[in-house]
Structure 1
């Protein structure tokens, strides 16, 4: 709860009901009562009680509750356990946009990955893809960095996150480095912003990356940093690995902070953007990987 309280109340949106907290986040009435006694921020009372959705998501992950997001993340555990050899893999990624205004006049004007810049295979150690409508054929090449530890010159950069906890944050805080330094909390976007800055200060070539995690059964948006090593862009993401360990999805012996993760990421560009749009506006999607 102390970590939840580090986020200022002005960034909260109270819209989760008791029922949605239970269904979407695994927070049953008994647990909810305990959390409220510990100071969980809320609005209203009784049946009109409302909670912040980001608070609920963070608590669900930290407490390892049975909830849709954690169930989706279990794929990481399976993928990391089978990754030791780093063999090439191919997946089919299906992106299904959701109409934000069902029943509107005229047809839906969906565009999938409208701002994507899919790297050529020789430029990155990560996944590449060929897009066909709402489907993408994703190739994860045999990775020379699989199992590779971070080069010594990158260690001080990655160590800047050693005392920072992973926390899903409100959009207003996703690039706020002052908040990170005051709270020791960062989402993937904020952590990658810090690493790019630290690399630049040390004269190390690094680039911000935004894209998708390619881990069956579901893909998810993610931000990370890539460093140019031996002529290739390679991703190390100690912040994500630390979170996966905290959530009980991998162990430190097999996946310490300094293991490369390039093959799990499909880079779409340098900055975050919509996975799909509806007549030019961001719209929600579901993404499955097989």
Structure 2
């Protein structure tokens, strides 16, 4: 297996991601299921959720091409496609009237106590399962950071490390999804995280996600498409694999703490409001977006 992917190779992987995502978008939009994915965005425009599964497919397959080993490639596919699939389920089923009242993690738990299983809860469990499977695959990969340390750990230590990796994958997927409240915001966030990752260890994985995100960014900014949970969760999950693959236990613990803190903050503070009153972030967020 390759020890790494060259700069030219990473650019090629990014190009594959962009082409694959755009091709998948065209195919999904023109399929018989295409009209069922039409939604109304925050400004009342009709957009399509087809960008979600298109991004999941493009980012996952391209990132797997950029992985340095079979286990890392498999982890990428499981995380990206798994998170995208359960996200699409929530996009479709969660839009039904009986599901709309149950919002947020607390809402899903309240529904569960009442004997109802929500689409959102299925998504949460599904993203967590995808992250756990991906982290387990990474643990067996000698090219992943911290592998020698894991070999010296006991079963308990290795189990904790896998759980930390799963938390990073699922937490990144959730964070990108929390940012998907305005056109282009989630994709820009993915690019800001993914571009530096693409230049470092396991950068081929991030390059695939970066390419797919860049390929769909113009359509998202123009309010022709919407990522939905499918696309945002998938993009975050693939980037989460790239993060987990380049960090050992301490790094994963630090990342998970940061992700948990941001997720907890989102329950109390509006990210949209913070962005709107922060110079620099405000302009970056609006860059390229349609005028009101």
Superposition TM-score, scaled by structure 2 size: 0.26
Task: Identify which of structures 1 and 2 has the higher relative contact order when contacts are C-alpha pairs closer than 8 Å and 6+ apart.
Answer: 2
Q: Considering fraction of residues, name the structure with more strand.
A: 1
Which one has a bigger Cα radius of gyration?
A: 1
Superposition TM-score, scaled by structure 1 size: 0.26
Q: Considering fraction of residues, name the structure with more helix.
A: 2
